Every structure is written in C-alpha cells, then in structure tokens.
C-alpha cells in the first residue's frame, strides 16, 4: 500500500502522553487511565500535515469530558467528635454537626451523602436517645432522649456514625465511620420555686425576686405574660434575673403567673418557657368596714335576759381566715343610759347582740343608739347600731274574710301572674315585726305551684303562679292560707281561725302540643348495617291523650324512614360515612284531631366507620425518570384511604407480579403513608411502563388496593422535564436538509 499524503497530529500542552492519535487513521486512544478528580476536562487540537510537515487543514478543537464514577469513599472531617448535650434538651434541636466530604462529582449521586447512627453505646432503653439528620449530619436528642437523659444515671455516650454516598440508596455505596463522644450535663433551665413577696413594700424598686439560667452564655431572656394585665409589674435582665418593678397590692391581685423564655441570637426559643409564680403575701393594711352605715335591730320590750337581738356585720379586705382579717367587737357607748348603762352585750368574735337585762320599756325609751368598736389589732373602726324597742306582739293577723271563693284560670297562665289578692290586718305597732304579715299556703299545694308575696306597706297579699300548671296533672286546688308575724307572739296568745283563709283554683284545659321524651335523640351506628335495621324508637306524648303520627323532615339522602304510629326509625338505604358522617333529621309529632298541633325533635345519627375503602394513591399516579438512567434515582409515592383514620395510617407497599417487574423495579418504605419507587438498574429502555402496585391498609379486616403505576422513562429537557417529540409538519426541514458542523465531544469513563 502507498503511504498517505498527510498524517494527523495532536497539539496540546495538556497531553502528558495519556491521549494520543493514530497518525494515519485519526483514531484517538488512551495510553493510561483518566482521573476526573485530577482533571475533569481535556482540550486538544488536531491538525493534518503533509509529508513535509506543513499544515494542510486545521487546527480543529476537541474537548474531552471525563465522566465520574463512584471511586472515592466519603471521609469525615474528624476521626472523632466531641459534643455536650443538656438534660431535657428540646428534641430535634441540633447540639452537634458531623461533616464528611466526597471527591466524586457533587452533581451526581456519587457524592450525595447519607448520615446514619450505626451504634449507640450504652443503650439502656429500647428507644434511641439520639437522632441524626440524614442530609445535614445534625445530631439532636430524640423525643425519648429529651425525657430520659439524666447525667445522674448515665453521663457519657458513644455514637458510631456512618456516612454513605449514593444517597444511601444502593448496596454498592461506599462508606466510612466516625465516633461521637457525648457528655450529658444537668439542665440548668429549670423553673424556680414559687416566689413570695409582701404587699405594698416600701423598699426602692425594682427588686430582684428570682433568677433563671440557660445552660450556655449568650441567651436572650424575655418574659411572656400568661394573662393580659393593665400593667405588667415584672421585668428580666440579660443575666436572667427577674425583678418586680413596683409595690404590689394583694387585694388587687394575689397570684401572678407568667413565663420566662430563653432565645438564641436569631430569636428562636432554645427550650420550653419556664412557668414563674409570684405569690403576694398579705399584710394588715386594711381597716374593718361596717357593712351598713347604720345597723337597725328590733327587740320586744318583754324579751328575756340573754335573748339574741341581731348580729352586727363588718368586713376586712385583708386575706380571709388570717389574723389580719380577724375582727373583734366591743361596745364603747350606749345612748341613752336609761334605765341603766350596759343594757346590751356583744359577742367579741361574732358581733352578736344580746340583752344583759330585762329592763326594756317602750314607754320610757323607744330606741337606743349603740356605738361599737371593731378592731383587727392594727386598725379600729366605729360602727353605729340603732335598737328599736317595739311593742309586744299580743295581736294576731285577722283576714278580712275567710273564704275567697273559686278562681278559674287557664293552664297556660304565665308564671308570675297575679291571680288573687288577699288582705289581713294586725293591730300591733305598725311597721314592726309584730305587725308585719307573712302569708303561707299550708294545705293543698304540695308541688308549690303558687306563692304569696306581701306588700310591706299595706300587708296586702298577692297570690301568684309559681310553676307551670298542668291540667292533666291536677285540675283543681283547694288552698288553705295562714297569716303570721315574723316576731313571736307573747306567751298566752296563739294564732286561731281568724288568721286562716281559704280559696280554690280551677285549672281550665288548653290543647297542648305533643311532648317528646327528649329534645335531641342521638344514635351511633356502623355504616355497613343492612337496610331495614331498627335504629331507635322515639316517643312523644300528647297531654290530652290524642293519637300521634310521626314524620321525618330534612331526610335529604332518604337514608331513614319512620313508622307513622310506633315512632320506630329504620335505615331505608345503605349508609356511607365517607359521604356524610353526621346525619341530622327532624322528627315531627302531630296530633290526630281538628287542630293538629305538632312539635319537633332532632335526631342525630353518627355513622361509625368500617373498613370499606381500599387504599389509593394520593401522589405519584404518573411518574417519570430521565433517560439514560442514573444510579440512585427514585420517585416518591403517597397512599391514602377514604376511611376514618383514628390513628396514623399504616400502609404496606409491594409490587405485583409480571414479566421482569421485580427484577427491574423495587419499592422501599419511607413511613406509614409514603414509599419510594426506583429502578433496580440503569439498562431500562426509553418507553412507557405499567407497574402493578399493591397497597394494603391496617384495617380490620385489611383491604388491598391494586393499582397500575404509569411510569415513563423518557428523554428530559434541561429543566429536568420529560421531553415530548413534536410530530413533523409540512414546511419543517428534514434531518437530511439540516447540515451542520459537529465538534466532537468524546466521553471517557474514568477509573
């Protein structure tokens, strides 16, 4: 063969003999392996030279991109980490970060790292006390750890933390480990004991009352009100010292309750707020107060020695049942002092007046003015008492007539309406307890349907309706009324027939509406009961005894029917809790007479769930992966269930049978509702796949959902979206018509 007229020549300062070109054929070849981590892009120039070494064509540029493979394991920045965690730290708040790096291409799964706690020494509990963020490497206490960590029980822990590349999704992932030594310290962030402050302090304010401490310096403290107050008399400084800013008054507020918070520089709370309680202690700073400016008692002139006249009432705003509010009474003056001084005595602790002598005579002195000293040992108050000496009660009330006849009233007469006025008179001294009249119904009204009120000026009695009348219960009342005085009669005088009167009440029937046994009927029932199931029997009674017919209103879904005469309610159609779980209808009871009065009750049907809905997909019905496939790609799916979820749902995911399904695809659980679908290898063709998926719920009995996932493996745009080819249309250039210059890009697989 004749030698060619030209040969190819590579010109580049970056060759280093690794990449060469066959001078006659133009093939590029490798003399060694490429390492992306040392050099990712190689730029070459090729020229065509004649036998004389002169350039015939060129130079042409060639760019070689070295594609990454997973040939570098991740490495932790430290071989050992040390951290401190405080007892009762908030779960999920990081106290330490571990970090690893991977020299592989950061844009590929080869350098996507996944952190995990491999071992936990010691582990005195079944639960893990620590957790790690799989992406960031942030270590924090778990929910059990926040509760259980105690330096008195175990002060140090060792965690073995592992990091994997390929996002931890492949068995071929490269890995490395590190030890994390954790020291548990006692939590200083504790609520202080209840603080006690004496009220109305005269010391200069603000006054330090307690202190809180965050575990580390740099925290920002603040107080949070638990209740809205006109002014908040507390503050806190940045050392955690809490102050009261002004004197407090126990009579205004006895207990203050608020929270102390600790925040980081970003304003995020470091832990739970601490409750702070401040008790305001009472001092004796309030004088006794007379309940009335003038207290008036009455006493009959014939009262005996030691008789109780009345009780003087006084109050003290200091704390109840303490020495500060203990009151003692003493008479300091009596006017007039006729027939002698100290006619009255007062019980020192109770304030009750008694007679010390039986020397009262209304004709000599009709009233006395007594001044009483009330003291709480610090303050003293004077109270005025007027004691009226009244005539003896030797006259009885006498009715103007003994029989007031019969009175006819309707059974729906309103409560409080006056139906009769009666009158008795008393010859004793007017406007005293001896002449005041009290009317009482002594016979004929066991249910207290009537009441009699007295006009204190005229002693006239007004008979009123006290309760709703019911003709069916009682249609007539024969009532006996007695008139008495609040003061006792003198010895030898007694009430007689003159103080007694009679009247009758006739109740006239009114046609009343039927009355249900309940205003609201409530039933709980499972949704799968057969049609025709008896749900409940309702009952209404007509006071007049008329026949009642029952009907349903607002039965919008026609799920129920009612027997017209018996009130039995049955299901009339299948129930469905997922359509409506609280079914409300109205029951009407109507009399069968000319007036046909009716009443209504509410019927609430609470439909309980049964497991009658199989799981379905809430997310992930249509999935796609970009072709060509890369290792570690996955897509998330989410399941749901239309049945009632009393607890967190727990679904199990599995692949159905089919040609190559389980050899090409795998499903992995994330949690009770989510899972990942991922291809098992990267050799799948570019096309649409239908993947049978089985989802089981945890109902009783469990139900199974059989679905077909539509998964598209397709070419993707630069935005990572599935690329859809547009069909050719007239006027569009064909491939053969498109002529361009292709600059070669060769991709080599690095070792």
> Could you count the other beta carbons within 10 Å of the beta carbon of residue 658?
13
Asked if pLDDT for residue 218 goes beyond 70, the answer is: yes
SS3 of residue 554 by DSSP:
coil
Residue with tokens 């998964």: 711
- What's the pLDDT tens digit per position in 374-393? 999 999 999 999 999 988 88
Rounded Cα distance, 22 and 29, in Å: 8
Asked if pLDDT for residue 751 goes beyond 60, the answer is: no
> Could you count the other beta carbons within 10 Å of the beta carbon of residue 688?
10
- What pTM did the predictor assign? 0.44
Q: First CA to last CA across the chain, in angstroms?
A: 39
SS3 of residue 48 by DSSP:
strand
Asked if pLDDT for residue 732 goes beyond 60, the answer is: no
- What's the pLDDT tens digit per position in 534-564? 999 999 988 777 788 999 999 999 999 999 9
Q: How far is CA 536 from CA 122, 605, 690, in A?
A: 60, 10, 50
What DSSP state is assigned to residue 325?
G
Q: How far is CA 19 from CA 44, 53, 420, 634, in A?
A: 9, 21, 125, 37
Asked if pLDDT for residue 620 goes beyond 80, the answer is: no
Q: How confident is the model at residue 516 (pLDDT cuts 50, 70, 90)?
A: very high
Q: Once rounded to an integer, what is the mean pLDDT over residues 125-142?
A: 92
CATH value of 289-390 in 2.60.40.60, 3.40.50.9100, 1.20.140.10, 3.40.50.1240: 2.60.40.60
Q: In the sheet where 635-640 sits, what is the strand order? A: 616-619, 635-640, 674-679, 665-669
Return the pLDDT at 216: 84
**Does residue 469 contact residue 449 with C-beta atoms inside 8 Å?**
yes
Return the pLDDT at 629: 87
* 311 bridge partner residues: 352
Q: Could you tell me the sign of the dihedral formed by the alpha carbons of 375, 376, 381, 383, in that order?
A: negative
* DSSP code string of 314-373: EE--SPTTSGGG--EEEEEEEES--S-S--EEE-TTT-EEEES-S---TTT-SEEEEEEE
Q: Pick 13 or 667 by higher pLDDT.
A: 667
Superfamily of domain 201-280: Cadherins (2.60.40.60)
Asked if pLDDT for residue 237 goes beyond 90, the answer is: yes
Q: How confident is the model at residue 217 (pLDDT cuts 50, 70, 90)?
A: confident
Return the pLDDT at 594: 54
Asked if pLDDT for residue 287 goes beyond 50, the answer is: yes
- By C-alpha distance, which of 590, 585, 517, 522 is closest to 553? 585
- Give the angle subtended at the CA of 636 by the CAs of 633 and 642, to the nearest 5°: 165
Return the pLDDT at 731: 41
- What's the pLDDT tens digit per position in 148-200? 999 999 999 999 999 999 888 888 889 999 999 999 999 899 999 999 999 99
Residue with tokens 């929270």: 259
Q: Once rounded to an integer, what is the mean pLDDT over residues 68-87?
A: 92
Q: Once rounded to an integer, what is the mean pLDDT over residues 278-291?
A: 94
Q: How confident is the model at residue 233 (pLDDT cuts 50, 70, 90)?
A: very high
**Does residue 695 contact residue 656 with C-beta atoms inside 8 Å?**
no
* 132 bridge partner residues: 139
Asked if pLDDT for residue 618 goes beyond 50, the answer is: yes
Asked if pLDDT for residue 26 goes beyond 50, the answer is: yes
Rounded Cα distance, 442 and 465, in Å: 16
- The tokens describing 609, both together, are 């769930």
User: Where, residue-wise, is CATH 2.60.40.60 in the chain?
Assistant: 75-185, 201-280, 289-390, 397-508, 515-608, 616-722
User: Across all residues in the chain, what is the average pLDDT?
Assistant: 88
Pairing of strands 114-121, 156-164: antiparallel
As a dihedral over the C-alpha atoms of residue 263, residue 266, residue 267, residue 268, rounded to 10 degrees, the angle is -70
Return the pLDDT at 16: 67
Going by CATH, does the domain composed of 75-185 fall within 3.30.70.360?
Answer: no
Asked if pLDDT for residue 747 goes beyond 60, the answer is: no
Percent of the chain topping pLDDT 90? 52
Return the pLDDT at 744: 30
| Fold topology of 616-722 | Immunoglobulin-like (2.60.40)
Q: Once rounded to an integer, what is the mean pLDDT over residues 46-60?
A: 87
Q: Which of 458-462, 661-665, 744-748 has the highest mean pLDDT?
A: 458-462
Q: Pick 701 or 315 by higher pLDDT.
A: 315
What DSSP state is assigned to residue 398?
E
Domain 515-608: give its CATH code.
Answer: 2.60.40.60
| Fold topology of 397-508 | Immunoglobulin-like (2.60.40)
- The tokens describing 42, both together, are 């190689």
Rounded Cα distance, 141 and 84, in Å: 11
- By C-alpha distance, which of 188, 376, 197 is closest to 274? 188
Return the pLDDT at 724: 57
Q: Once rounded to an integer, what is the mean pLDDT over residues 551-579?
A: 93
- What's the pLDDT tens digit per position in 448-504? 999 999 999 999 999 999 999 988 789 999 999 999 999 888 888 999 999 999 999
């Amino acid at each position: 063969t004749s030698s060619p007229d030209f040969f190819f020549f590579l010109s580049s300062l970056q060759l280093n003999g690794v990449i060469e070109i066959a001078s006659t054929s133009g093939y590029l070849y490798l003399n060694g392996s490429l390492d992306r981590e040392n050099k990712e892009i190689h730029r070459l120039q090729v020229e065509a030279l004649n036998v004389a070494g002169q350039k015939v064509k060129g130079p042409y540029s060639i760019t070689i991109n070295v594609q990454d493979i997973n040939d570098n394991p991740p490495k932790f920045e430290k071989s050992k980490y040390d951290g401190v965690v405080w007892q009762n730290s908030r779960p999920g708040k990081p106290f330490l970060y571990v970090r690893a790096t991977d020299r592989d291409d950061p844009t590929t799964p080869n350098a996507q790292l996944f952190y995990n706690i491999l071992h936990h020494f010691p582990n005195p509990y079944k639960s893990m006390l620590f957790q790690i963020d799989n992406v960031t490497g942030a270590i924090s206490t778990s929910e059990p750890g926040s509760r259980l960590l105690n330096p008195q029980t175990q002060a140090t822990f060792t965690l073995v933390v592992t990091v994997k590349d390929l996002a931890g999704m492949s068995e071929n992932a490269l890995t490395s480990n590190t030890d994390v030594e954790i020291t548990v310290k006692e939590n200083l962030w504790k609520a202080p004991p209840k603080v006690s402050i004496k009220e109305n302090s005269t010391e200069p304010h603000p006054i330090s009352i307690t202190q809180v401490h965050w575990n580390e310096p740099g925290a920002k403290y603040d107080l949070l009100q638990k209740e809205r107050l006109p002014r908040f008399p507390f503050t806190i400084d940045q050392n955690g010292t809490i102050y009261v800013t002004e004197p407090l008054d126990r009579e205004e507020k006895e207990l203050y309750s608020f929270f102390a918070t600790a925040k980081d520089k970003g304003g995020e709370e470091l832990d739970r707020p601490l409750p702070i309680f401040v008790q305001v202690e009472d001092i004796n700073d309030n004088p006794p107060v007379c309940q009335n400016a003038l207290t008036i008692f009455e006493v009959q002139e014939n009262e005996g020695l030691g008789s109780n006249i009345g009780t003087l009432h006084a109050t003290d705003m200091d704390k109840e049942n303490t020495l500060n509010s203990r009151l003692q009474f003493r008479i300091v003056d009596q006017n007039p002092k006729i027939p002698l001084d100290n006619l009255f005595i007062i019980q020192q602790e109770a304030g009750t007046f008694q007679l010390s002598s039986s020397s009262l005579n209304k004709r000599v002195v009709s009233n006395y003015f007594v001044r009483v000293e009330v003291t709480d040992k610090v303050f003293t108050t004077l109270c005025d008492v007027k004691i009226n000496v009244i005539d003896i009660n030797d006259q009885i009330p006498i009715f103007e007539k003994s029989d007031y006849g019969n009175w006819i009233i309707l059974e729906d007469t309103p409560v409080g309406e006056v139906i009769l006025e009666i009158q008795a008179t008393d010859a004793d001294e007017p406007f005293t307890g001896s002449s005041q009249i009290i009317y009482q119904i002594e016979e004929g009204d066991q249910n207290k349907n009537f009441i009699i009120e007295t006009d204190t000026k005229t002693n006239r009695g007004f008979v009123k309706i006290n309760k709703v009348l019911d003709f069916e219960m009682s249609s007539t009342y024969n009532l006996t009324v007695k008139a008495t005085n609040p003061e006792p009669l003198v010895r030898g005088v007694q009430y007689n027939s003159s103080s007694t009167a009679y009247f009758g009440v006739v109740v006239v029937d009114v046609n009343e509406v039927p009355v249900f046994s309940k205003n609201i009927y409530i039933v709980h029932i499972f949704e799968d009961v057969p049609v025709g199931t008896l749900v409940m029997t309702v009952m209404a009674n007509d006071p007049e005894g008329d026949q009642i017919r029952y009907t349903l209103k607002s039965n919008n879904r026609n799920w129920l029917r009612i027997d017209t005469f018996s009130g039995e309610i049955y299901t009339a159609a299948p129930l469905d809790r997922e359509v409506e779980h609280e079914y409300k209808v109205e029951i009407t009871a109507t009399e069968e007479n000319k007036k046909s009065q009716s009443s209504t009750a509410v019927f609430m049907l609470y439909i309980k769930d049964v497991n009658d809905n199989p799981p379905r997909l809430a997310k992930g019905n249509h999935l796609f992966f970009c072709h060509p496939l890369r290792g570690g790609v996955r897509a998330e799916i989410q399941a749901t269930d239309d049945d009632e979820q009393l607890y967190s749902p727990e679904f199990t995911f599995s692949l159905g049978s089919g040609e190559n399904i389980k050899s090409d695809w795998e499903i992995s659980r994330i949690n009770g509702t989510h899972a990942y679908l991922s291809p098992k290898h990267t050799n799948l063709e570019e096309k649409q796949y239908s993947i049978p998926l089985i989802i089981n719920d945890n109902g009783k009995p469990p139900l199974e959902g059989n679905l077909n996932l539509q998964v598209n493996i397709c070419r993707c745009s630069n935005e990572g979206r599935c690329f859809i080819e547009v069909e050719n249309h007239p006027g569009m250039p064909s491939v053969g018509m498109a002529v361009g210059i292709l600059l070669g890009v060769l991709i080599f697989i690095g070792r």
